[in-house]
């Protein structure tokens, strides 16, 4: 049996996410936008809760195309809030639209969101060597800087802890613990 990070449960959906995605560097703007919205939806909840709803989010958020989400009006927000397959929190739904608009402004300024967001780690993944889950921080100076800058640019639900989870999920930091089979695989990327 493969040794995984301690946050993974027995659900194959969760194991696949850990084994295939988490900690792998993402440089695709659409995927970076998707993860930004999903990490914001996670605020106060577990990632497992969000992951189980991810496919429904992809359907009703039009594949997370930021130009489309930026155009959502009050009727679309109400439809999203009525969907039992989503996390029905008005502030989080409204933040998705606000964040889509801010995302587009950042992309206009930097050429790509990827170029902007990866600057917080110097353009390369930060590789950590944690011996246990207890050692993994909830935030870092890098996530603090990212959070502060995103907020300054108008983004919502981007506190430092959310930013650090985003950095982990998109491979900006590699936090697979040393005993996890993915540590060496992701470190080699």
Of the candidates 50, 43, 62, the one whose C-alpha atom is nearest the C-alpha of residue 86 is: 50
Residue-wise pLDDT tens digits, 160-172: 999 999 999 999 9
Q: What are the DSSP E strand ranges found in 75-178?
A: 126-127, 173-174
pLDDT at 185: 86
Query: In the chain, what percentage of residues exceed pLDDT 90?
Result: 95
Residue 157 counted as domain residue: yes
* Cβ-based neighbour number of residue 174 at 10 Å: 24
* Residue at 84 is within a domain: yes
Residue pLDDT, tens place only, 6-55: 999 989 999 999 999 999 999 999 999 999 999 999 998 999 999 999 99
Helix and strand element counts for the chain (H, E)? 10, 2
Residue 3 placed within a domain: no
pTM of the predicted model as reported, rounded to 2 decimal places: 0.96
Burial of residue 154, with CB atoms counted within 10 A of its CB: 0-12 exposed, 13-18 middle, 19 or more buried = middle
* Residue 69 maps to a domain: yes
The domain in which residue 32 lies consists of: 12-187
CA distance 168 to 111: 23
Average pLDDT over residues 80-93: 96
Mean pLDDT across 93-106: 98
Task: Supply φ then ψ for residue 9, to 5 degrees.
Answer: -95, -170
Domain count, the chain: 1
Query: How far lies 18's CA from each of 52, 115, 122, in Å?
Result: 14, 25, 24
- With respect to residue 4, please indicate whether it lies within any of the assigned structural domains: no
Is the residue at 150 inside a domain?
yes
CA angle 152–155–156, rounded 5-degree value: 120
Task: Please name every residue paired with 127 in a beta bridge, in sequence order, or none if there are none.
Answer: 174
Task: Give the helix/strand (H/E) hosting 156.
Answer: none
If one counts every other C-beta atom within 10 angstroms of the C-beta of residue 24, the result is: 16
On whether the CB atoms of residues 112 and 103 are closer than 8 A, the answer is no
Confirm whether 5 is domain-assigned.
no
48: domain CATH number is 1.10.340.30
Catalytic residues: 17, 39, 47
Q: Does a structural domain hold residue 20?
A: yes
């Amino acid at each position: 049996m493969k040794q995984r990070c301690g946050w993974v449960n027995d659900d194959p959906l969760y194991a696949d996410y850990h084994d295939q995605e988490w900690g792998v560097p993402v440089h695709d703007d659409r995927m970076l936008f998707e993860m930004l919205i999903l990490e914001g939806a996670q605020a106060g909840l577990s990632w497992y809760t969000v992951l189980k709803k991810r496919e429904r989010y992809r359907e009703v958020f039009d594949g997370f195309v930021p130009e489309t989400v930026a155009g959502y009006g009050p009727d679309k927000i109400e439809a999203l809030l009525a969907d039992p397959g989503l996390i029905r929190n008005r502030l989080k739904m409204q933040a998705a639209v606000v964040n889509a608009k801010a995302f587009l402004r950042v992309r206009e300024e930097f050429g790509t969101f990827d170029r902007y967001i990866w600057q917080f780690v110097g353009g390369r993944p930060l590789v950590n060597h944690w011996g246990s889950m207890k050692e993994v921080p909830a935030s870092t100076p890098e996530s603090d800087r990212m959070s502060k800058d995103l907020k300054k640019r108008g983004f919502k639900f981007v506190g430092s802890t959310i930013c650090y989870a985003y950095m982990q999920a998109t491979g900006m930091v590699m936090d697979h613990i040393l005993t996890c089979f993915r540590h060496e695989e992701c470190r080699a990327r």
